[in-house]
Amino acid sequence: MTKTKAAVVGITGGIGSGKTAATDRFASHGIDVIDADLMSREVVKPGKPALTAIAEKFGADQILLADGSLNRRALRDIIFTDNNKKLWLESLLHPLIRDEIIQRLRASKPPYCLLVSPLLLETDQHKLCERVLLIDAPESLQLSRTQQRDQTSETAVKAIMTNQLSREKRLAAADDIIINDSDLAALYAAVDLQHQKYLEQFS
C-alpha cells in the first residue's frame, strides 16, 4: 500500500560538518527539506503576534529596525547577557516554531522528508523524527571548512563549537551516521546510499 504521510528524518551535526552539503544532495533526489531556521524567521515576521510580544517586552526602539522588522542582532545581544530573557524568548518562540514545522512536515511528500534544525537535539524537535541522521566530521575538518567558507578565524569557530552540543551527545542520539571526512564526491555517494536505505525503510 502507498503511504500518504512522509516519515521524518532529522539532520544534525556540528558547525561545518556538512549538513547543508548533505541536505542539498538529498534534495537533488526530490526529497522535501524543512528548514527550522526559516521557520524561526517566519514566526517573527512583521504582523505576527510573536514580534508584537517581543517588542512589548524589550522595547520597540531596541529591537525593531526602521522598516518594522526584527533586529536579530540586537535581540541576540540582549539575550546573550541575560539568561532569564533568553528563557522567556525561547518559551515564546519554540512552540510557535514547532507548530510551523509540523504544518510543513504534514504537507511533505512521502515516503520521507528531511528536517534540518540547529536545535534538533537541544529542543524536543527530534521527537518529530522517525530517524536522526548525524553528519559527522573530525573537529579539525569542521574548523578548516568553516574557516574557509566564512572567512573567519579559528578562535571564532572554536567559540561556536564549544557552545554546541558535544560530539558524544550527537553520536548517542543518532540512528544513522554519515562520516564526512573525505571529499564531496564521497559525501554524495554516502548520501545516495542512505537515501536508498530510507526509500526501502519508509516505502
C-alpha neighbours within 13 Å on the C-beta side of residue 14: 27
How many residues touch ligand ATP under the rule CB under 6 A: the total is: 16
In the complex, the smallest distance separating the C-beta of residue 62 from ligand ATP, rounded to whole angstroms, is 28
- Indicate the residue among 124 and 150 with the shorter CB distance to ligand ATP: 150
Task: Say how far apart CA 93 and CA 57 lie, in whole Å.
Answer: 13
In the complex, the smallest distance separating the C-beta of residue 166 from ligand ATP, rounded to whole angstroms, is 15
Give the E-state strand segments of 56-171 in sequence order.
Answer: 112-116, 131-136
CB 44 within 8 A of CB 87: no
The secondary structure of 103-135 as a DSSP string is HHHHTSPSSEEEEE-TTTTTSGGGGG-SEEEEE
In the shown chain, the binding pattern of residues 4 to 23 toward ligand ATP, with x for contact by CB under 6 A and - for none, equals ---------x-xxxxxxx--
Q: Which of residues 126-145 bind ligand ATP (CB under 6 A)?
A: 145
Residue recorded with cell 533586529: 71
In the shown chain, the binding pattern of residues 166 to 185 toward ligand ATP, with x for contact by CB under 6 A and - for none, equals --------------x-xxx-
In the shown chain, the binding pattern of residues 182 to 201 toward ligand ATP, with x for contact by CB under 6 A and - for none, equals xxx--x--------------
Chain positions contacting ligand ATP, by CB under 6 A: 13, 15-21, 145-146, 149, 180, 182-184, 187
